[in-house]
């Protein structure tokens, strides 16, 4: 793999402290938890006492959340790792060994690994909520022996919000992206390493608060949080609002790093056309977050202001509840592209290396990624055609259907890459191909949702539930697991078990389709979403869906076991097991704390997807400064 | 636990990148303010309530505009490599930020939050207030770092540039706010 002697040297001299795990390394984590919980309860109780109120009311809960969040961050090491130093205080030591995984720090690689762990945990608990939903729907009316309608509403609200903001929003951008962006761009770290480190530490308290929202009354609105219902159905909505705003902030901090690193820190010789396609996908997603998150962010804060400060943005004499829908969907429709564009880009990153073919129509694919991100800002209204004037319908229908054009560029690029290639199918590639199939179904059914006459019939039915699970679970989560498999040797130096990887892929594909395809039929037959009971004629299909869902849910334990087992005992991987020409694979695996040593840097001298026999290496290692 | 020799190696962004990427952060913050500004007409109508204290608004706006003098002065000194010379300007800006916070809190007393205009005015100025608090912390950090560890401040000059850019952005946003909430 070494392209010249300097690269060989670069690979051999990358050090960093080697330490083995000790229980004392968990101290920052324990301290953060202790300070977070103490801060929450102390602040909430004091506020409640001052107001003559109780801690489950919106204002004490809000004050408690903010103080608890600050306590958690300080406990995690933010004070000694950043703030103290910024005020001219002592410099914290650089934690280069295993201890860096358990405390706040500037290392993007350990941040990314923490993202994966967080996403797996959030996915597990939000998945349990999904299982609870499917138990409820085993019979036409399970409210007598399982969840009441109130609990059912809370459950699907938590499931939706957590799956979207604590899982889909960061599985690929966070766990995969933050690890690979610096390596793919040929730098040792992102532009604002501490800001990126901070982004992870915002996640656990936010997700914990949302999961705990039933303890202060829950919320009945589903993940939309539409007022006026939001303000009249339980204080738990406070945790929803604060949790969502915190998770969005974390996403934006990551987006700033991705955009800034790509624009300002590319390796020498890496023109925009030579930027790896995955980084382009992340960049497109980042622009969405930076430009469009403010609308939803302000909506959340205005809703909170109504509840704790007495303003009337969405209720009361001056309230405009429909404004919330505009604000909410201005980001949260494009947010699905924040999930999907990096997934598309991973297909286009993996397929050339697997098929040993250059990426077909590379510039069109880049245009597709950027095009989707730009069009995405103009079509959120299609989520509420039933609530807008007829004048807005054809405009937003047209914009929405236009998105299929840049998406088509991406598909054509993938198909063109596969065409005539000798595809070597391992578990990761298999999952990518399945994700492409699933997204095709999700995308094509989306056209019916975008079409006003069809949408007015399909709105709020299980058709919509099936559609977005095909795009998010079927495409994004499939691709996430594919990416974990593909880059597993990069992070751990070992390979996953291919047999169990492929076994899981087929298990997943079969039961995913058995779970969600019938939902299209149920939707057309009149099954409402978000209702705990249904008419008896829908029992058979719901029974089939629920049993498939249980098998699908159980199937997630296979990749989890595979990843954990392979991390400890998997087959040792060679440095570049897939024969990829990507820059990240030219660096030692597992990636050392310092990816490449001082005085050395990569220079790009050719396209990173030229797999023709005898083609020269795309990168060489040169001395710094190279100019 | 290794010594901190790796810190600079693992924060490799040059000054150009640190200053350039800060633009994305300010872009995000500016769009948040633009959202509040746009929302003023939805919730506040086109009129301005008689209880709005125009004198305080004009005074705060003039103060913000005058605060550009130390901003440009400090920027010139940074360009000349005089890291110590900016500390007095930072101190002056810190005082301005404190006055702005007092002015905002005073303005709240005459506008009920439950009214349409009062609600949007209060949440927008509340957001400004949070940014002024952040500015005070940033000025304090710059002053303390510059006096306690001048070498570090010199090495990380981009921080001072970004603090000044942050304040410059605040001035622009405040002037837009004044135009929309007081004059339009």
Instruction: Quote the mean pLDDT of chain A.
Output: 94
Residue A311 to residue B3, Cβ atoms within 8 A: no
Residue B6 to residue A312, Cβ atoms within 8 A: no
> Mutate which of B14, B15, B25 to disrupt the A interface (most A C-beta within 10 Å)?
B25
- pLDDT for A159-173, tens place per residue? 999 999 999 999 999
Angle at A610 between CA A605 and CA A613, to 5 degrees: 110
Distance from CA of A94 to the nearest CA of B (A): 5
Distance from CA of B64 to the nearest CA of A (A): 24
Domain ranges of chain A: 105-140+148-180+194-623
Q: What average pLDDT does range A595-620 have in this prediction?
A: 89
Rounded to two decimals, the pTM is 0.95
Q: Does B47 touch chain A (CB under 8 A)?
A: no
A329 pLDDT band (50/70/90 cuts)? Answer: very high
- pLDDT for B115-129, tens place per residue? 899 999 999 999 999
Residue B114 to residue A95, Cβ atoms within 8 A: no
- pLDDT for B31-59, tens place per residue? 999 999 999 999 998 889 999 999 999 99
CATH class of the domain at A105-140+148-180+194-623: mainly alpha
Q: Which residue has the higher pLDDT, A550 or A389?
A: A550
Contact yes or no for A567/A492 (Cβ under 8 A): yes
Angle at A39 between CA A35 and CA A45, to 5 degrees: 150
Element (H, E) at B61: helix B54-66
Classify A228 as helix, strand or coil: coil
- pLDDT for A208-239, tens place per residue? 999 999 999 999 999 999 999 999 888 999 99
A624 pLDDT band (50/70/90 cuts)? Answer: confident
Q: Does B115 touch chain A (CB under 8 A)?
A: yes
From the centroid of its chain, how far is CA A565?
Answer: 24
Chain A residues in contact with B152 by the CB 8 A cut-off are: 88
Interface of A with B in 176-235 (CB under 8 A): 187-193
The residue of chain A nearest to residue B151, with distances taken between CA atoms, is A88
- Give the pLDDT score at A7: 53
Q: Does B119 touch chain A (CB under 8 A)?
A: yes
Residue B13 to residue A297, Cβ atoms within 8 A: no
DSSP state of B83: S
Helix-strand-coil split of chain A, %, nearest 5:
70, 0, 25
pLDDT above 70 for A13: no
Classify A593 as helix, strand or coil: coil
- pLDDT for A282-298, tens place per residue? 999 999 999 999 999 99
Q: Which residue in the set B42, B146, B149 is minimally distant from A320, CB to CB?
A: B42
- Give the pLDDT score at A4: 47
Q: Using CA atoms, how far apart are residues A330 and A20, in angstroms rounded to an integer?
A: 47
B5 pLDDT band (50/70/90 cuts)? Answer: low
**What's the token pair of residue A499?**
């047999």
- Give the pLDDT score at A56: 94
**All domains of chain B, ordered by start, with CATH?**
18-183 (1.20.120.80)
Q: Which residue in the set B10, B28, B141 is minimally distant from A189, CB to CB?
A: B10
pLDDT above 80 for B3: no
- Give the pLDDT score at A2: 44
A1 pLDDT band (50/70/90 cuts)? Answer: very low
Chain A residues in contact with B42 by the CB 8 A cut-off are: 320, 323
Residue A94 to residue B4, Cβ atoms within 8 A: yes
Residue B116 to residue A318, Cβ atoms within 8 A: yes
Residue A106 to residue B11, Cβ atoms within 8 A: yes
Question: What number of other Cβ atoms are within 10 A of residue A146's Cβ?
Answer: 17
Question: What number of other Cβ atoms are within 10 A of residue A351's Cβ?
Answer: 26
Residue B6 to residue A188, Cβ atoms within 8 A: no
- Give the pLDDT score at A134: 98
Chain B residues in contact with A93 by the CB 8 A cut-off are: 1-4
- Give the pLDDT score at A319: 92
Residue B36 to residue A261, Cβ atoms within 8 A: no
Q: Which residue in the set B4, B28, B115 is minimally distant from A252, CB to CB?
A: B28
B2 pLDDT band (50/70/90 cuts)? Answer: very low
**What's the token pair of residue A476?**
């994004």
A9 pLDDT band (50/70/90 cuts)? Answer: low
Q: Which residue in the set A88, A263, A313 is minimally distant from B144, CB to CB?
A: A88
Contact yes or no for A366/A278 (Cβ under 8 A): no
pLDDT above 80 for A3: no
């Amino acid at each position: 793999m070494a392209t010249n002697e300097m690269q060989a040297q670069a690979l051999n001299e990358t050090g960093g402290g080697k330490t083995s795990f000790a229980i004392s390394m968990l101290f920052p984590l324990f301290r953060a938890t202790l300070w977070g919980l103490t801060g929450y309860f102390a602040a909430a109780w004091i506020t409640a006492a001052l107001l003559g109120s109780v801690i489950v009311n919106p204002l004490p809960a809000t004050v408690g959340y903010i103080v608890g969040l600050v306590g958690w961050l300080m406990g995690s090491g933010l004070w000694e790792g950043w703030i103290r130093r910024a005020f001219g205080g002592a410099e914290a030591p650089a934690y280069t060994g295993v201890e860096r995984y358990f405390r706040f720090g500037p290392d993007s690689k350990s941040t990314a690994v923490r993202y994966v762990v967080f996403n797996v945990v959030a996915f597990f608990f939000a998945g349990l909520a999904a299982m609870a939903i499917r138990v409820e729907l085993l019979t036409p009316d399970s409210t007598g022996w399982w969840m009441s309608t109130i609990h059912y509403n809370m459950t699907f609200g938590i499931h939706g919000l957590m799956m979207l903001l604590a899982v889909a929003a960061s599985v690929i951008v966070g766990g995969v992206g933050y690890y690979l962006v610096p390596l793919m761009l040929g730098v040792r770290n992102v532009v604002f390493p501490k800001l990126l480190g901070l982004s992870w530490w915002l996640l656990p308290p936010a997700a914990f608060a949302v999961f705990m929202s039933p303890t202060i009354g829950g919320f009945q609105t589903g993940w939309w949080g539409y007022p006026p219902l939001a303000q009249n159905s339980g204080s738990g909505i406070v945790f929803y609002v604060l949790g969502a705003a915190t998770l969005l902030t974390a996403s934006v901090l990551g987006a700033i790093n991705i955009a800034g690193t790509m624009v300002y820190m590319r390796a020498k010789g890496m023109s925009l056309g030579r930027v790896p396609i995955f980084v382009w996908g992340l960049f497109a997603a980042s622009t969405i977050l930076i430009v469009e998150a403010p609308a939803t962010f302000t909506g959340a804060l205005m809703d909170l202001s109504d509840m704790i400060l007495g303003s009337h943005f969405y209720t009361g004499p001056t309230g405009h509840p429909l404004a919330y829908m505009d604000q909410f969907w201005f980001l949260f429709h494009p947010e699905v592209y924040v999930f999907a564009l990096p997934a598309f880009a991973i297909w286009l990153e993996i397929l050339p290396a697997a098929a040993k073919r250059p990426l077909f129509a590379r510039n069109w694919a880049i245009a597709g990624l950027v095009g989707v991100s730009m069009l995405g800002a103009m079509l959120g209204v299609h989520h509420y055609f039933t609530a807008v004037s007829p004048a807005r319908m054809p405009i937003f229908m047209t914009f929405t259907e236009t998105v299929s054009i840049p998406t088509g560029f991406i598909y054509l690029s993938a198909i063109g890459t596969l065409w005539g290639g000798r595809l070597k199918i391992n578990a990761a590639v298999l999952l990518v191909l399945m994700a492409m199939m699933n997204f095709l179904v999700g995308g094509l059914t989306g056209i019916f949702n975008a079409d006003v006459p069809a949408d007015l019939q399909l709105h709020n039915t299980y058709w919509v539930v099936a559609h977005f699970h095909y795009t998010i679970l079927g495409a994004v989560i499939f691709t996430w697991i594919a990416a974990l498999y593909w880059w597993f040797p990069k992070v751990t130096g070992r390979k996953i078990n291919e047999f169990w990887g492929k076994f899981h892929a087929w298990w997943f594909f079969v039961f995913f389709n058995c779970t969600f395809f019938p939902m299209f039929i149920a939707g057309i037959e009149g099954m409402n979403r978000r209702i705990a009971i249904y008419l008896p004629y829908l029992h058979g299909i719901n029974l089939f869906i629920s049993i498939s869902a249980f098998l699908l849910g159980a199937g997630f334990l296979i990749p989890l076991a595979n990843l954990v087992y392979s991390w400890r005992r998997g087959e040792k991987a060679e440095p570049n097991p897939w024969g990829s020409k990507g820059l990240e694979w030219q660096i030692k695996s597992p990636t050392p704390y310092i990816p490449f040593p001082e005085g050395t840097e990569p220079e790009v001298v050719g396209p990173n997807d030229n797999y023709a026999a005898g083609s020269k290496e795309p990168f060489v290692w040169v001395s710094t400064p190279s100019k | 636990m290794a010594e901190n020799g790796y810190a600079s190696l693992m924060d490799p962004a040059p000054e150009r990148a640190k200053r350039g990427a800060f633009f994305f952060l300010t872009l995000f913050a500016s769009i948040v303010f633009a959202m509040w500004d746009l929302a003023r007409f939805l919730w506040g109508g086109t009129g301005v309530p008689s209880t709005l204290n125009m004198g305080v608004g004009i005074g705060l706006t003039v103060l913000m505009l005058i605060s550009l003098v130390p901003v440009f002065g400090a920027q010139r000194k940074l360009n000349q490599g005089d890291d110590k010379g900016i500390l007095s300007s930072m101190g002056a800006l810190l005082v301005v930020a404190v006055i702005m916070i007092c002015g905002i809190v005073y303005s709240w007393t005459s506008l009920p939050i439950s009214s349409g205009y009062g609600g949007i005015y209060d949440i927008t100025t509340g957001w400004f207030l949070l940014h002024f608090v952040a500015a005070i912390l940033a000025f304090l950090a710059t002053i303390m770092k510059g006096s306690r560890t001048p070498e570090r401040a010199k090495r990380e000059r981009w921080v001072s540039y970004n603090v000044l850019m942050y304040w410059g952005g605040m001035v622009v946003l405040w002037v837009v706010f004044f135009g929309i909430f007081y004059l339009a």
